[in-house]
Structure 1
Amino acid sequence: MSNPSNTEHFVAPFEEGVAFEELQDAPPRTGYRPSLTGWIGIAVVTFWAVIALAGPWLAPYGENALPFPDAYEEFQVPQAGAPLGTDVADRDILSRIMYGAGRTIGISLAATLLAYTLGVVLGIGAAVSGPKVDMVMSRINDAFLSLPTIMLGLVVVAAIGSSIPVLIATAGLIYATVVFRLARAIGMEIMVMDFVEAAKARGEGRWWIITREIWPNARMPLITDFGLRLIYVILFTSSLSFLGLGVQPPQADWGSMVRENLGALQYGQSIVPVLAPALSIATLTVAINLIVDDVSAHGGGRLSGRM
C-alpha cells in the first residue's frame, strides 16, 4: 500500500495544464495605447505630415511668389494677404513654410529609413555571425563613430556638392553607425536568452532565429529609437541648411529660411521670418519626442528601459 503523503505531491510529467518553467518565456507583445501626451504628439505630427504632403496645394501663394508685387518691401509685418508677413525677398512666409515642410520632413524621413535599413541589417547580422565577423564590423563602425557628425557632413557635402540625394545619403550613412551599435547590442542580448537557445537546440536556422526570435523582441526598442533618430536627423539636415550646405535657394527649407531671414533680427524688424520656421522645427521635434516617450513608457519592456 502506497503512502498517501507521497502521492499527494506527485504530478504526472505530461499532465495537461502543468506549467514548465525551465525555459524563459519571450516578452509579451502588447498593442500601443497612447496617453494624453501621446495623443498630443500624434496630433501635431499628423498636422505636419498633412502639410508636408499637401502643402503645395494648400499654400495661398507659390513658393517664390510675391504677395504684394506692387509694394515690394522686405520683412513686412503680418497682415491681410500675408498672415505671417514676408521674408527678405518679400515672399510669403506661410507659403514657404508649407512648401519647406515637405523637403524638411521628406529628406529627414528618407535619411532615417536609410540609416535604419543599413544599421539594423548590419547590426543584427554582426550579432548572429560569430565573434570574428562581429569584431571586424564593430571596429569599422567605431572608426566612423569617432568622427563628429556635423563636421563629417560638412566635409562630404562640401566635397560632393549639395543636393537632396546627397543630403539623404550623407545623413543616412552617418546615422547608420549609431543604429548599427544599438541593433548589435540588442541582438547580442537576445541571442543569449533561453528561448533563443531552445530554438538553436531544435535545429532552427539563422534566418528563422532572426525573423521569429530576435526581430519580434527587438522591434519595440528599435521603434522607440527610430523616433529619436528622426529628431536628430531633422536637426542635422536643418543645421546643414542653416550653414548654407543643405537645400539651396530658391527652394524652401526650414533651416535655410532661418538663415535667409536673420537680417530681420539684426535691423530690429519683424521676428516672425526667423521665429516661424524655428517654431516649425521645434514643434515637430517636440511632438515626435512626446510620442517616443509615450511608446517607451507603455511597451518598451526591459530592453527599452535599459536603453
Structure 2
Amino acid sequence: MVRVRSRTPLLLLACGLVLITATGCSGGPAPWTAAEASRSSMVATAPQPPLDPGPYNAVLRSVVDGQGLVDYAALQRDPAQLDRYIKALGALAPERFASWPEAEQIALLINAYNAFTLRAIIDNDPIRPSIKAIPGVWKFRRHQLMGRGLTLDGIEHEILRREYNEPRIHAALVCAAISCPPLRQEAFTGAALERQLEDQTTRWLASPVGLAIDRAAGTVRISQIFQWFAEDWPRADPQAAPVPGHAKQSAVLRFIARYRPAAERDLILGGDYRFAYLPYNWDLNRQSP
C-alpha cells in the first residue's frame, strides 16, 4: 500500500512550494504563489485523465529484455517514441497532476525518472560505459517536467522521497547500472502500482544484486541502496521489531524478509549471521551486442 507523508497536492513541483535548490528547478519566478496553488488545488477536485503511457510502453517493449537490460544502441537510432513521451511530460499541466490519486502521481514520477535516465544515456555518442561517466547527470542536467526544469536528484530526493512515504520506489527507480533493480518492460500506472511495486521488489530481492545469502559462510549481504537511503525504511515502519544482533538495520531486514521464501525469511529475522552490503556495479545495464 502506498503511504503518503504529505497530502499537499504536488503543485509543489512548481518550485514555489518545495525548495528544489541545488538539485532542482531553474531560476526565475515560480508560476504560482502558495495561495494560487491552493486555489488551483481546490478547483481540481475531480481526477483528470492520467498521462498516456503508450509511447513509453512502446519504448520499453522494444528495447528492454526480460532481465531488465537495455538495447541503448537501438534506442539511440530511433528515439522518437521516447521523445514523444518526454515532450508530454514537459507539457503536463501541474493542476492535472494534482488532481490524480497519490498512486498515479508516484507512477508518473517513477516513469519520468526512468525515461529521463534513458534519454541521458543515449544523448552521448558513443554511449558511455557507465552513467557515472556523464558529468552532472544527476545533480545538474535538467529535464522538463510540467514546464519546470528538474534534475534526476530533484525528482528522486526532493519529491518522491520527501513527499511520499513509500520505500518501494527504490525497487522501481533505475539509474542505468547493472546493480540497479531491473527496468520493467511496462510503464508504471496508478491502477497497477501496488502490483507493480510488489513485483519489482520481489524480482530485485530475488536477484544477486539485491540480496545474497551464504549459509555456509554465515553471511547476509544486501544492496547498497538500502545503505544510501537507510532512513526511508524506518520512516515507513517505525514500529519494526528489532532483529537480534542487527537493531540498526531492523526495518530494512524486516522489509526484505517479507519478499523471501520462509526458510530465508526465518534466517533473516533470526539474526544469526554476519551482515554486509554488496559491492555496487556501475557498469551500464546494457544488452550484450
State the TM-score bracket (shorter-chain normalisation).
under 0.3
Question: Higher helix share goes to which structure?
Answer: 1
Which one has more relative contact order, counting CA pairs under 8 Å at least 6 apart? 1
Compare CA radii of gyration and give the structure with the larger one.
1
**TM-score (structure 2 length as normaliser):** 0.24
**TM-score (structure 1 length as normaliser):** 0.23
